[in-house]
Chains A and B, each alone.
Chain A
Amino acid sequence: MVSSSLLKQFQRATQALLGLVTINVIFFIFAPTYRAISNFQTIFSQATVLGVMAVGTTVVLLSAGLDLSVGSILTFVAVSVGSMLNLQYPVWLIVFIALGIGAFWGTVNGLIIVITGVSPLIVTLGMMMILRGFSELLGAGKDMSSFPRAFRALGSGYFIPVLIMAAAYLVVAFMLGKTRLGFNAYAIGGNQEVARLSGIRVNKCKVIYYAIGGLMAGLAAVLLTARLNFANSTFGQGMEMNSIAAVVIGGTSMSGGIGGVGRTIIGVLIMTCLASGLSHMGVGSSWQRVSIGIVIILAVWIDTAQRKRTL
C-alpha cells in the first residue's frame, strides 16, 4: 500500500527525475572524476543528511508552513550532541536526546506560530537567530571531536546512513499516505479554513508538523556529526535553504497541499549531485551558493506554472 502511493508520487515527479538524469548526463560528459563509483558512494552518504532534513521540511511545507530555523536546530543539536559525547553517555541515549531536542525546538516554533499568529517566516527567522546564539554559547571553547566508535558508525560509510534515511522516508510516507495526521496536512495546506470547518484541529496538527520538522533536523544533526566526527557552532548554516530547495525542486508546492516525500528524495539527489558535480568541475563553493539560489527561483517558477495548469 505504502509502496503504491510512493510509486504514484514518483510518476508525478517525472519532471524532476528528468532533471536529475539530465544533470547527471552533463556531469558524466564534462567532469571525468564525477564518474567514479566512489564518488557516488560519497554522494549517497552526503545526501542522507540533507535527505533526512528535507523529509521534515516536506511535511511543514505541505501544510503551508515554513521553517527557516531547521538549519539552526541542526547546529544546536550537533553542538549538544558534541558536548554530551564527552560525558560518556550510551549512544542510544544520545540519539534519543538529540531527536528530543530537535522535536522540542520544532514544537516551540509551532506553538509560537499557532498561539501568536505571527507569520512563520518571521517566527522561524527569529528562532534562527535565537538558536545560533544558544549554539555559540553552548559550543564556545569546547573540543568536540573524536567521538566514540559506536556513535561514528551511525554516519560512516553509506550503508547505515542510507538505511536510517530510508527508515525516515518510510515512516513519513506512511504518515502522509495512511494516517489522519497526514491527510490533515494536505487539507490544511490546501485550505486551512475548510479544514477548520470540517472539525480538524488545525492548530494541534500544525504544531505536530513543526515538531516533525525539528525532529528530522535533530536526526540530520546526528548523521552529520557522526560522519564528520566533530561538531561546532557553524554547522548547518544555510541548510534550511538547501532543504527547502530540495523539497520544492522535487515538486512539493510552497503554497501547500500538493506534494509528498517520494518527490523530495529526487530533489535531494538533484541538490547533492549538483553540488558534487559543480565542485568536480572546479566551481567554487561561493558560486555553488549562487546556483542554489537560482535553482530555488527556478523551482518556484516551475511550481507556479504547474499550479496554474492544474487549477
Chain B
Amino acid sequence: MNQLNSTIGAPLVVMKGIVKCFPGVIALNQVDFELLPGEVHVLLGENGAGKSTLIKVLSGAFPADSGEIFIYGEKVVIESPEVPLKKGLRFIYQELNLVPQIDIARNIFLGVEPLGIRKLGIINTSTLYKTASQLLERFNIQLDPHRIVSTLSVTQQKMVEIARALVTDARVIVLDEPTDVLESTSRNDLFKVINHLKKEGVGFIYISHRYAEVYELGDRVTILRDGKNVGTFSIRDLTLETMIEKMIGGKIGKQYPSLPAPQEKIILRLENFYKGTVVQGVDFSLRKGELLGITGLMGAGKTELARAIAGVDPPTSGSLYIEDEKVMVRTPEEAIRHGISFLTENRKTEGLILDQSLRNNYGLPNINRLSPFGMVKIKKMNDEIDFYMKELTIKAPHRFTLAGQLSGGNQQKLVLAKWLGTHAKVIIFDEPTRGIDIIGRREVYRIMQELLAEGTSILMFTSDYAEAMEMSHRVMVMRRGKIVKEFPRSSASEDDILKAAIGVGEFR
C-alpha cells in the first residue's frame, strides 16, 4: 500500500463485518471494505458474488443485517437513502435509475433542486436549467436539458445519470458497471472526468467485470467470492491470471467438452428471415445433433432472431421449415407444438416463476402433455421433475423448494429440465451461461453434450466469443441483422470473431 502515494489521508468509507442474508442465501458474509480519498477502488467478483449487494447496503437501498459503517471516520447508521446522500456519496447503479417521464434537468436535480426561497421549497427554475446545461457541456453531452428522458438513447441516459452524480459536491462516487451500455467515446469522456475528480480527492468505488478497465483505471481492487472478501490488493501487484483465479476460487481448467458428430438429416431450416429492421434476411439450416453457435455484438440482432424463431416475437417475413415441412410459428405455444424450445436470456424474469416451486415451474410448458381432458396428472408430474432433478443434479432439498432459492447455475438447470420435458427437436439457448459461475457452466455444457448425443439439435446465441468458438460445431457471426461470416469449430480466434462482428477489413 506504500505505493499509493497519491492517496494519503483518512479513509472516506470504511465498512466492517457487513452481513446480509436473503431468504435462502447469504449474500454478504463478514465483508470488510475501505475507500481512501483520491483512489479508484475496484470491486471485482463473479455474478452473485455480492458486489451489488454491498453497494446497496452502503446506499441504504436495504439495511445490512449486521456490521458497522464509517463515513469520514464517523460511525453512521444508514436507515434510508437520504443518509449517504447527505454525506456526499453518489451512486450510479447498473440498471438505469432515472424518471423517464420528466426532463433531463429535473432528473439531474432530482431531490436537490436549487431553491429560491428555502423555507417554502420554491424552486429557482432558471438556475436549474442553466446549471444543468453547464453540467452537460462539461461532459460534452450535446443535449437540451428540456428533453424528456424517455426520448434519449440508453447511452445518453447513462451520461445524464453520471452528470446527476456530480451535480452537488460529491466526495464518494460509486459506479456499478457504468460502461456496459456506453459507446467507447463516451467511455473515454467518463474516464477523463474520473481522473480529473480523483485529483480533487474524490474517492471512487468502481464495479466492473472488464479486466482491461480494471487495469486502466483502478488503484486497488477488492475481490469478492460467494459473499466473502477474498482480499484487497494493489492492482499493480496483481497479474490478470491471479486475479481471475482469486475471483473464481481455483485454477482455470479445461472448460469445454468434446462434441459428438452431427447427423446428416436437416432438422430446421430458415429462409429469408426478416424481423423489422433488426433481422435482415437470415438463411441457415441446422442438422440433427448439431450445435450451431450464433454470435455478434450487442444490437446485432441475435436475441431478436432467437425470439423470432421461437415465435415469441414472430418474424415479419420469411419461412421456417422443420424436417422439410413448412411451419408457422407465431406464438411460443406453436413453437412447442413443433418441437422448438426457447431458453430466454432473462432466466429470472422470463424463464422461471421465482416464487413458485420447482415442480410448478417444470409444469409450465409440460402442462398440456400432462393433463389430458384438462385434468393434471400430478403424480406423473412429480415423477418427472424428480427424475430431472436427479438427472441434471439440480441441488435443491425438495421438488417443492421455490425456484428463487436456487443458485444461478441450478436455476438454469431447472429451466433446462422444464424444456427437456417437452422432448424438443430443437433447443434455442439465448446466452446460456450468462451470470453462471465456472462450475455451473461446465455442467450446462455437459448437458448440451448429452443432448447432442441423443440427437437433439441446439441453436446457441451467445455474446461470449470463446464459448461460441469452442462449444459449437459451426459459428455464425451476425452484424446488423445479417449473417456475415461462418467458422467451423475451433478454426478462429476470439479476435477473428470480433473483427467479423465489427466488420473490420470488409472493404479491403
Contacts and interface: CB of A to CB of B under 8 A. Distances in A.
Consider the complex of A and B and state whether they touch directly, i.e. have CB atoms less than 8 Å apart: yes
Interface of A: 1, 177-181, 183-184, 186-187, 189-191, 193-201, 253, 256-258, 310-311
25 contacts: A178-B122, A178-B123, A179-B121, A180-B121, A181-B121, A183-B110, A183-B113, A186-B101, A186-B102, A187-B111, A191-B98, A194-B110, A195-B99, A195-B111, A197-B97, A199-B82, A199-B86, A199-B111, A200-B110, A201-B82, A253-B101, A256-B101, A257-B101, A258-B101, A310-B151
The 8 closest A-B pairs by CB, nearest first: A190-B99, A257-B101, A198-B111, A180-B121, A199-B85, A190-B101, A198-B110, A199-B82
Contacts of A189: 101
Given A180-B121, A198-B81, 15 more contacts: A177-B125, A178-B122, A181-B121, A186-B99, A186-B102, A191-B100, A194-B97, A195-B111, A197-B81, A197-B93, A200-B110, A201-B82, A256-B101, A258-B101, A310-B150
Contacts of A310: 148, 150-151
Contacts of A180: 113, 115, 121-123
Contacts of A199: 81-82, 85-86, 111-112
Contact of A190 (B102, B113, B123): B102
A9 B123 CA distance: 19
B303 interface: no
Most central of A178, A256, A311 by chain B CB within 10 Å: A178
B123 A183 contact: yes
Nearest to A189: B101
A181 B112 CA distance: 12
B371 to A, nearest CB: 33
A200 B85 CA distance: 10
A258 B149 CA distance: 12
Contacts of A193: 97
A181 B61 CA distance: 22
B472 interface: no
Nearest to A311: B150
Given A198-B85, A310-B148, A257 B113 contact: no
A183 B101 contact: no
A187 B110 CA distance: 8
A180 B85 CA distance: 17
Interface residues of B, number: 28
A172 to B, nearest CB: 14
A310 B152 CA distance: 11
A186 B106 contact: yes
A45 to B, nearest CB: 33
Contacts of B106: 183, 186-187
A115 B91 CA distance: 27
Contacts of A1: 125
B100 A195 contact: no
Nearest to A187: B99
A197 to B, nearest CB: 5
Contact of B122 (A179, A196, A201): A179
B59 interface: yes
Contacts of B97: 191, 193-194, 197
Interface string B115-149: 10000111101000000000000000000000010
A304 to B, nearest CB: 14
A140 B158 CA distance: 61
Nearest to A200: B111
A238 B82 CA distance: 40
Nearest to A255: B101
A91 B186 CA distance: 64
B120 to A, nearest CB: 7
Contacts of B61: 197
Interface string B61-81: 100000000000000000001
A10 B133 CA distance: 26
Interface in B206-226: none
A15 B123 CA distance: 30
Contacts of B102: 186-187, 190, 257
A208 to B, nearest CB: 11
Contacts of B125: 1, 177-178
A294 B106 CA distance: 36
B14 to A, nearest CB: 22
B148 A191 contact: no
B60 to A, nearest CB: 8
Contacts of A177: 125
Contacts of B85: 198-199
Contact of A179 (B91, B98, B120): B120
A187 B91 CA distance: 17
Contacts of B110: 183, 187, 194-195, 198, 200
A14 B97 CA distance: 31
A152 B122 CA distance: 35
Contacts of A258: 101
Interface in B390-418: none
A184 B111 CA distance: 7
Interface string B46-65: 00000000000001010000
B82 A194 contact: no
A191 B86 CA distance: 21
Nearest to B126: A1
B440 to A, nearest CB: 30
